[in-house]
Chains A and B, each alone.
Chain A
Amino acid sequence: MKHSHKKWVTLVFALSIVLMLGACKKKVAPPPPPPPPPPAAPTASLTANPSTIQKGQSTTLTWETQNATDVSIDGIGSVQPNGSQSVSPADSTTYHLVAKGAGGNQEATARVTVTQPPPPPPPQPTASEEDLFNQNVKDIYFDYDKYDVRADQQAALQADAAFLKQHPNTKVTIEGHCDERGSTEYNLALGDNRANAVKNALVQDGIAADSIKTISYGKEKPFCTEHNEQCWQQNRRAHFVYQK
């Protein structure tokens, strides 16, 4: 029994070999010769880089074609089959390339978007009245519990008067300030005296009284909040404020 099974396997194997050899022989047979190729159709691409520009700027169109004999771009005219060109359209433009060849026509487009440039920056203004005021008008400083304009402040006061004479339309508020010592109420009255002392000096110097307002802040709005003489001196002042 075992012997007969082996014989069958051998037979099947042999038949398979024969069949396989026959199949291989067929593939190796030479193919028929190909037909002559038709003329190749042209290809074309067109890009703009960058695709968005501000008005006045330029962008570069780049194109590539193959199998074309005649390439043209609307608005530019005939061009080389491959190339690039800088363009500066005034408005958004769609560039249209046509590549013609024996194999037909191929088209390509590229859109260039033109944005309006930002408005030009406003012309550099000449220094405003207020800037000039803040650069030139100096505060007047006082001694403790005094409201007369002391000698070392007279130069600043004269400069302030000169500025206000040159700018007769300027309206000004003079704020009277005091240091933190003493009572709230007394300092408000003292600050009023300081503001009025400076106003009176300016009016005496020819500045129109109705262009000057006064207000006392007493010790309510200090410029400096430390508890020492350096700071207190900063707070004992007539402060000029430009009135718009």
Chain B
Amino acid sequence: MKRLLSVVISVFVFSVILCAQQDWIRTGTGLGVEKVRVAVPDFKLNNATPQNTALQKTFDDTLFYDLEHAGIFDMVSKSFMPTQVPGMPSDVNLAQWSSPPPSAAMLAFGNLGATGNNLAVQGWLYDLKNTANPQVLGKQYTDAATPEGARSIAHKFADEIIFRLGGGISGIAETKIVFVSSRSGHKEIWQMDYDGANQHQLTHLGSYALSPRISPDGSRVAFSGMTKNGWEILMYSQDLGRLVHFPHFGGTNLSPAWSPDGTHLAFSSSRTGDPEIYVTDSDGTGLKRLTSFAGPDVAPVWNPKTGGQIAWAERSQVTHLPQICIMGADGTNQQHVTDEGFAVSPSWSPNGQFLAFSWMRRFGPGEPGAQDIYVMDITTHTWAQLTHGEGRNDFPSWSPDSRHLVFQSSRSGQEEIWTMLADGTQQQQLTTSGSNYEPNWSWK
């Protein structure tokens, strides 16, 4: 029964490929999806100085990483490429790239050079099979002649290519991940680029800051912090670089979540003595209680596609262990989607069709109780397992393109942040400094 998911998903994948504008995802299967084979030779340097050579390497590495991790390309190894790389359209020998060894379908190439403080990049994407009119993209970028500028241009060009070749879904190369890190000595909220670059601290609470959730417009980070009044929902402004006002509700307040339009927050509060799910306006007014189950109700997450449903983790009265539940955003139609094991930390895919969560599926005396990331189809409740017993895996969070998940894993010996494609492949560690927890991917 459960193994039906792969069939369901492959049918789903075929159907969405047919209607090209629909989001799609390869979860649980690679069947029937041929990855586009792309060659991305190093860009040609216009004027070779040590500074430009360093910028070129940053640019080339970033562009290659972005495309390699997009999940939709078969990358041509650089060792298969001709030694003469093209810098301009006139340099391109189409047959040289489309025939073995590169055997590429697509070629991304270009040139870059810094003059003064400006870095200029020209980039092209060629469809090598369309010999008459091969150009798919021709782009020109300028940014600061700094590593950040080079990375920014590479991200933009990569996202253009991904958008063009990936069924019209925007790339994620410029997205951010907020997370909790203990590397300063306290658990504080940090932020990094989606590839792990540019890790920096946001909060300085000096106690505990947990469960960061970035707002849909990226301007705020809601989180749960321990203050002198206990656990409160706190609000960090990215624009102001500091905490801004948010009301105190009393009790233990945990795990905030943004509605997809940014107008509401859901969170867990024990203000009445038992942790329940509440919803407020984004300024904390209009508090409304949605659940009334004895025992923990925590970790709500909105359906980002419709805004009409909320999933959360609730301690089941039947199994006496937490299970994933779904309800309407007004608290109606509450139902379990898991009914065994220990299931927590739901994250709803931006296309609305999947829940990722952390599950000790076979849990109990005598069971090893590995904690792994699973993805469940909302309509059929069939699921696929994405991690397989390497450490404890928790807090999955979807990327905006619904193709990636970021999560927390202890497999390296301590809790760190990892990413993977939503089919469980390309698992990659992003953090190495201190212990790092509870990643949350930005909405765009």
How many B residues, CB 8 Å from partner?
Answer: 38
A172 to chain B, nearest CB (A): 15
A190 touching B296, Cβ below 8 Å: yes
Assuming the contacts A145-B320, A188-B298, A189-B275, asked whether A182 and B270 have C-beta atoms less than 8 A apart, the reply is no
B345 within 8 A of A: yes
Task: Pick out which of these stretches binds chain B: A22-30, A101-109, A192-200, A236-244.
Answer: A192-200
- Chain B residues near A188 (CB, 8 Å)? 210, 224, 231, 252, 254, 298
Assuming the contacts A147-B295, A183-B394, A184-B438, asked whether A189 and B254 have C-beta atoms less than 8 A apart, the reply is yes
Bound Cα distance from A182 to B344, whole angstroms: 8
A183 touching B252, Cβ below 8 Å: no
A186 touching B296, Cβ below 8 Å: yes
Bound Cα distance from A196 to B273, whole angstroms: 6
A146 touching B274, Cβ below 8 Å: no
A185 to chain B, nearest CB (A): 5
- Selected from A183, A189, A220, the residue in CB contact (under 8 A) with B270 is A189
B320 touching A186, Cβ below 8 Å: no
B322 touching A182, Cβ below 8 Å: yes
Tell me which of A145, A183, A193, A214 has the highest count of chain B C-beta atoms within 10 A of its own C-beta.
Answer: A183
Bound Cα distance from A189 to B270, whole angstroms: 8
Q: Mark B355-380, 1 if CB is under 8 A from A, else 0.
A: 00010100000000101000000000
A 127-161 contacts with B by CB, 8 A: 145-147
B275 touching A193, Cβ below 8 Å: yes
B169 within 8 A of A: no
- Selected from B208, B274, B320, B358, the residue in CB contact (under 8 A) with A196 is B274
CB closest residue in chain A, given B273? A196
Bound Cα distance from A216 to B172, whole angstroms: 37
B299 within 8 A of A: yes
Bound Cα distance from A66 to B360, whole angstroms: 103
Give the A-B pair count, Cβ closer than 8 A. Answer: 85
- Chain A residues near B187 (CB, 8 Å)? 220
- Selected from A147, A183, A214, the residue in CB contact (under 8 A) with B358 is A183
Bound Cα distance from A182 to B298, whole angstroms: 13
B436 within 8 A of A: no
B273 touching A186, Cβ below 8 Å: no
Bound Cα distance from A185 to B270, whole angstroms: 13
B 299-346 contacts with A by CB, 8 A: 299, 313, 315, 320-322, 342, 344-345
B 363-414 contacts with A by CB, 8 A: 369, 371, 394-395
A167 within 8 A of B: no
- Chain B residues near A220 (CB, 8 Å)? 187, 208
- Selected from A185, A196, A214, the residue in CB contact (under 8 A) with B344 is A185
Bound Cα distance from A171 to B399, whole angstroms: 47
Per DSSP, chain B at the interface is strand
B190 to chain A, nearest CB (A): 15
Q: Mark B203-229, 1 if CB is under 8 A from A, else 0.
A: 000001011000000000000101000
B255 touching A185, Cβ below 8 Å: yes
Assuming the contacts A192-B252, A193-B275, asked whether A185 and B320 have C-beta atoms less than 8 A apart, the reply is no
- Chain A residues near B208 (CB, 8 Å)? 220
B158 to chain A, nearest CB (A): 33
A231 within 8 A of B: no
A79 within 8 A of B: no
- Chain B residues near A185 (CB, 8 Å)? 210-211, 254-255, 268, 298-299, 313, 344-345, 438
- Chain B residues near A200 (CB, 8 Å)? 273
Assuming the contacts A181-B369, A185-B299, A216-B252, asked whether A193 and B358 have C-beta atoms less than 8 A apart, the reply is no
Tell me which of A146, A186, A214, A215 has the highest count of chain B C-beta atoms within 10 A of its own C-beta.
Answer: A186
Assuming the contacts A183-B344, A183-B358, A220-B208, asked whether A193 and B394 have C-beta atoms less than 8 A apart, the reply is no
Assuming the contacts A182-B322, A192-B252, asked whether A145 and B315 have C-beta atoms less than 8 A apart, the reply is yes
- Chain B residues near A190 (CB, 8 Å)? 295-296, 315
Assuming the contacts A181-B369, A192-B252, asked whether A186 and B231 have C-beta atoms less than 8 A apart, the reply is no
Bound Cα distance from A183 to B315, whole angstroms: 13
Q: Mark B254-269, 1 if CB is under 8 A from A, else 0.
A: 1100000000000010
CB closest residue in chain A, given B342? A182
B195 within 8 A of A: no
Bound Cα distance from A196 to B299, whole angstroms: 20
A 162-194 contacts with B by CB, 8 A: 181-186, 188-190, 192-193
CB closest residue in chain A, given B322? A186
**28 sample A-B contacts, Cβ–Cβ < 8 Å, listed by A number:** A145-B315, A145-B320, A145-B321, A145-B342, A182-B344, A183-B299, A183-B358, A184-B394, A185-B298, A185-B438, A186-B299, A186-B313, A188-B231, A188-B252, A188-B254, A189-B270, A189-B296, A189-B297, A190-B295, A190-B315, A192-B251, A192-B252, A192-B296, A193-B275, A196-B274, A200-B273, A214-B252, A220-B187
Q: Which 8 A-B pairs have the closest CB atoms?
A: A189-B296, A189-B275, A183-B344, A192-B252, A189-B298, A185-B255, A192-B270, A186-B344
Contacts beyond the supplied A183-B345, A186-B298, A193-B274: 14 A-B pairs with Cβ under 8 Å:
A183-B344, A184-B210, A184-B437, A185-B268, A185-B438, A189-B275, A190-B295, A190-B296, A192-B251, A193-B275, A196-B274, A214-B230, A214-B252, A215-B230
